[in-house]
Structure 1
Amino acid sequence: MRMHLALVLGLVSLVLDGVCASDWNILHHKGDGKGLKISLKNYCESWRVNVEVHNLRDFEVVPHECVEYIGKYMTSTQYKVDSERALEQCTLYLSQEFGLTGDGKDAWIFDVDDTLLSNIPYYKKHQYGGEKLNLTSLEGWMRGRKAPALASSLSLYNEIKGKGIKIFLISNRGEHLRDATVDNLFEVGYTGWTGLILRGDEDCGKSAQKYKAEKRQKLVEEGYRIWGIVGDQWSSLLGHPHATRTFKLPNSMYYA
């Protein structure tokens, strides 16, 4: 009986291993014609990097083969170092003389989610983007006001505020989440912004890029000079009007 059970389990294991290997080889494993062997880690790292440089777009979920890899990256020291390096460039930029006037119209824009506040604790429970987005579930997390601050973002935020630059937060969150968003931001140390801009009824159906570009346009029409934008998604950075400089934080868990 034991021998029979062991044989069955061994066959099951071989079948499952074969399915995984077949899935990997058929869907993803491609050589370069020069004998290059691509591992799963190679593939997932390449996938992540191509998300960051905006070659891979409009994906609904992280490939199931790469969920574990992406999860490890987003909770790693490397993710923190990559984020800090990006924001160090903001600090270097701010140290330059680029025409701050002190007239109250110098502005800087931050995204909120995974730029100022981290949703990694939420995505940890949802396969780090390996599950399709459930907006009701995500908004439930946001209403809980439990998102921690990204430490390097908080430091930069306070540095910019200290220079007298007006800070605007343009978030893809809906207006119905204003109270929860304000409470969460205050709780982790973000204070003193000039404006928190959230999606209203008039923004329904607009892409994130179109919505955020329109909000920037309104700021420009009010006389603001946008010196910089920090965001974790390309939709926060692209479109007219542009900022003088943009800075992207790493995030390959979702595409918005």
Structure 2
Amino acid sequence: MQMGKLLGFLLLFSSLCIGFVSADWNILNQKRKNGVGSSLKNYCESWRINVELNNIRGFEVVPEECVEYIKKYMTSSQYKADSERAIEEVILYLSHCCTMKGDGKDAWIFDVDDTLLSTVPYYKKHGFGGRKLNTTSMEAWMGESKAPALEHSFKLFHEIKDRGLKIFLISSRKETLRSPTVDNLIKAGYHGWTSLVLRGLEDEFMEVQTYKSKARQHLTNQGYRIWGIIGDQWSSFEGPSSVKRTFKLPNSIYYLA
């Protein structure tokens, strides 16, 4: 009799637990294929981190369920703090890295988009990475020269310039955008760079990393000592080069290969 009561109690308890689990199950507490439970927030944070680690590559869009999360991150104080932390590491490196020879050949490379200038205002109106990039629309926006400076990079740019390093800007923007890009940079407060390298017709169908590696090699062939690169895409660093250090800024909205 006691055994029957105990069995009945266990069955009742189990059914209640199943009921609680079923009621609690939703997209914010989903069960992954591998059987590991994970909230949507955890999943999206894991996706973002693996983009930054270059484990997730070549994605065309942010996963639909993570768009709102990426939007919140890229407009948050955490994004700013992560970027500022990267800049602090650059400053620390600069404090001991560079024995400059005073011959004008000490150099630093910056990317442009989401390194010096922010494209977040564009993506606020165009799905925050949840839609495939419309190149025509993006280039039209770039042509308006309204991208704001990224404050953390702005300070670093001028500090590096004041240290006497030559600054080269290597961007995946097309050569046809040279005039609005220069206008935008100047309006945002950037000045004094040595050269702005943009993609000409001969570079247009190259992978970004091949194009940027080629541009770096050209500088090296001219005798420049490249002490560092800072950019938001892994393609800014990959490929053969004699760069001393690379620094990655966070960007989970898009991937350029």
Give the shorter-chain TM-score range. 0.7 to 0.9
TM-score (structure 1 length as normaliser): 0.87
- After superposition, the Cα gap between the structure-2 partners of 1:101 and 1:77, relative to the gap in structure 1 and judged at 3 Å, is same
Structure-2 change in CA distance of 1:97 and 1:172 (3 Å): closer
Distance in 2 of aligned mates of 1:116 and 1:192: 14
Query: How high is the TM-score relative to the length of structure 2?
Result: 0.87
Q: How does 1:64-143 map to 2 (within 5 A)?
A: 64-143=64-143
Contact 1:213 1:238 in 2 (8 A): yes
Q: Does 1:248 align with 2:248?
A: yes
Answer yes or no: is the 8 Å Cα contact 1:112–1:169 preserved in 2. yes
**What does 1:202-213 correspond to in 2, within 5 Å?**
202-213=202-213
Are 2:35 and 1:31 equivalent residues in the alignment?
yes
Q: Which amino acid aligns with 1:83?
A: S
User: Aligned letter for 2:65?
Assistant: E
Q: Quick check: 2:30–2:39 contact (8 Å CA) kept in 1? A: no
Identity of aligned residues (%): 63
TM-superposed CA distance for 1:190, in Å, is 0.5
Kindly provide the amino acid, as one letter, of the partner of residue 144 in structure 1: E
Query: Number of residue pairs matched?
Result: 232
2: distance between equivalents of 1:198 and 1:204? Answer: 10
Gaps of 5+ in 1: 1-19
Following superposition, the deviation at residue 237 of structure 1 comes to 1.1
1:85 offset after TM fit, Å? 0.3
3-state SS of 1:189 partner: coil
Name the residue aligned to 1:11: none
Deviations 1:206-251 (A, max 9, x none): 0000000000000000000000000000000111114100000000
Maintained 8 Å contact 1:61/1:132? yes
Alpha-carbon offset, residue 58 of structure 1: 0.2
After the TM superposition, which of the residue ranges 187-196 and 98-107 deviates more from structure 2? 98-107
Aligned pairs for 1:222-233 within 5 A: 222-233=222-233
Pair member with larger Rg: 2
Do the aligned residues in 1 keep the contact of 2:174 with 2:204 (CA within 8 Å)? Answer: no
* Secondary structure of residue in 1 paired with 2:155: helix
- Write the letter of the residue equivalent to 2:151: A
Which deviates more, 59-68 or 242-251? 242-251
Give the deviation of 1:30 after TM superposition.
Answer: 3.8
CA change 1:219–1:143 in 2 (3 A) is: same
Q: What secondary structure, in the 3-state scheme, does the structure 1 residue paired with 2:38 have?
A: coil
